[in-house]
A and B are shown apart, each in its own frame.
Chain A
Amino acid sequence: MQKRRGATQAEVPAASSLRSTMTSTPFSRARDHLGDAQLVELYRQMMLIRRFEEKCQEMYTRAKIGGFLHLYVGEEATGVGAISNLQPQDHIFTHYRDHGHAIARGLNIDELMAELFGKDTGTSHGMGGSMHFADITKNFWGGYAIVGSHLLLAAGVALACQMQKTNGVVMVFFGDGATNGGEFYESLNFAQLWKLPVVFVCENNLYAMGTPIEVHSSVKEIYRKASAFDMKAMRIDGNDLLTVREQVGEAVEYARSGQGPVLVEAMTYRFRGHSAQDTQKYRSKEDVEQHRSQDPVLIFRKELIDAGVSSSADIDALDATIDEQVEASVRFADESAVPGNEWLTDSGIYAAPLATATVDPDLV
């Protein structure tokens, strides 16, 4: 059992300065820093993502959800751990595998499920779907579906933060497959050149869709790509929630202090295929099972119980509450209305439609 040190919440310094205690672990340091209730909250977020997405898969099979469905299952520790360091004035950009980040940022899962169902009550009024969750009331600028593209938008928001002196930091998520395209390199150069407050979080799940990293990248250690820009970088265990939280916390404070961007490479693994249609011929079942045996959600669950942070019965009760919440989101989505046809007119396309319509009213 981890021994709790004497510091109170108010006295605890930022996560970044806690690593000097050599005998402690990320778990013990986080417990000291956050307290037991917050540790359980981080578990709750991971399990909510897990159960929400398992329900997504079910609803996809039942054709309630269309299009592409990219599940985050297996990578929850990276998103939850990284985002737990952000403050309200901070910003998030992510890729098309965006469910986990949205839930970790606290987006309403009723609205998320409604978006997946293509309903008007969805986060994007049913206009975006799985790949395009967003909620600017939480500075969650959305999931973007062109690989690598959103890194530049993230740098642009960081430029706005810098110019507006908001003290905000932008966190942008992408995969290993995004680090071979030009937009990645342009964004790193701009960010370092102008010392923009960006934390680039590469979720290295070892595959660019179905192409293994040995096949797609000349450099296998993605974090080393930052060296071309003299940029601070780190490679971390993305499957250990509290390691992610601690190390990304350092990166966030570095960026916030005005010293510039950081590239974080979080080593992780997705348990499901690239998308719901993926037959996964590019990797063995044994390999997937090996990783599944190291499930970050279940490992953290066990850590909480073993350390006496929470009892097995309390965690079971929490899981049951999560299941009810997910079921409620399905009911909400089912009962919601579909978006209206105004989305097919200029008023759905432009913030300021003009007197001259671009959509031909005589269209038959």
Chain B
Amino acid sequence: MPVLTVREALQQALHEAMADERTFIIGEDIGHYGSTYGVTAGFLEKYGPERIRDAPIAEAGIAGLAIGAAMAGMRPIAEIMSVNFSLLAFDMIINHAAKIYSMFGGKFSVPLVLRTTNGWTQLSATHSQSFDSMFAHIPGLKVVAPATPADMKGMFRAAMADPDPVIFIEHTLMYGIKGEVPEGDYIVPIGQSVLAREGRHITVVTYSRMVHLSLQAADILAKEGIEVEIVDLRTLRPLDMSVALESFKKTNRAVVVTEDWQSYGTSAEIATRLYEHGFDYLDAPIQRVNFREVPMPYAKNLEQQVVVTTDRIVAAIKKVLNRS
């Protein structure tokens, strides 16, 4: 099986999507500039400006035009370069993309895929955020955040085939991550979580880039005889807790790792569901590992203390196992 980076897997998925004549891509710097993170590099040359639409820096417009076009029979891909900029498009995403199907009595839908990125690298307060829980809070949206190159390809395919609006969350620090990717038609359904690693002592429930950090933490702990089971949720809405609960019933202990602020964040929902549906299996309080709750500082020494690190995941696991 070919080994691809996340970026290459996404490129493959986007090329597949462009085979549908109804599909066009609209976003900032996707064409002439060559794409900020390189995902759509070469697309303008291949598909032309009619279908690779360099947009003004106007996020509401990018989302709004894509929603309208989707309603009228196109299958657009809207790219919001950074999730931080999506705040300017929230009215379009929340009041429109998410509502149109039910508000008009199911007479028409919004088959839109909106790609965006989480991420940070000394970008300071307004360029280092994650709004996963804000998207996942909204009935009417489907929200996915794959971790592996294979899932990037397979879930993008599923997103494009879906008649509902799908928020496709990528991560700027994941584009170079490599993995095996099946060739040809490969679909990973939305709304299905998966085991990323088997273990019997503790369950880590996570998604997106935190899957990779959790795997590193598990490697470290394996040397101490601690077997960590890791659940990759892959989809945030609808949230499939079946794999996590099955694992939790086996290990009786859990750590939830998410790259956002803790209060009212995705980890709050995940931990609550574990408590609600797994209370009888609980041997220790669930621990969460998240961003420290401050606007992201620029200074590297401070930034490193805010973000989730492998060390912090290891420490949290040990705390729950009472082995620190």
Contacts and interface: CB of A to CB of B under 8 A. Distances in A.
Given A123-B105, A186-B58, A343-B102, A153 B67 contact: yes
B65 A354 contact: no
Interface residues of A, number: 51
A159 interface: yes
Contact of A124 (B58, B103, B109, B140): B103
B277 to A, nearest CB: 8
A352 B103 contact: no
Given A124-B107, A149-B91, A183-B64, A348 B58 contact: no
Contacts of B71: 141, 153, 156-157, 160
Contacts of B103: 124, 127-128, 132
B191 interface: yes
Nearest to A162: B50
Nearest to A137: B107
Given A127-B104, A189-B56, A350-B140, A91 B64 contact: no
A124 B108 CA distance: 10
B65 A190 contact: yes
A30 interface: no
Interface in B63-77: 63-74
Nearest to B112: A156
A267 interface: no
Given A153-B68, A157-B68, A193 B104 contact: no
29 contacts: A123-B104, A123-B105, A126-B105, A127-B102, A127-B105, A132-B103, A134-B104, A134-B105, A134-B107, A136-B107, A136-B108, A146-B95, A152-B64, A153-B71, A155-B61, A155-B64, A155-B65, A156-B72, A160-B71, A160-B73, A163-B24, A163-B69, A164-B73, A183-B91, A190-B61, A350-B101, A356-B192, A358-B237, A359-B139
Interface of A: 91, 122-128, 132, 134-136, 141-142, 144, 146, 149, 151-161, 163-164, 182-183, 186-187, 189-190, 193, 343, 346, 348-352, 354-359, 362
Interface of B: 24, 50, 55-56, 58, 60-61, 63-74, 91-92, 95-96, 100-109, 111, 139-140, 142, 162-164, 189-192, 235, 237-240, 242, 276
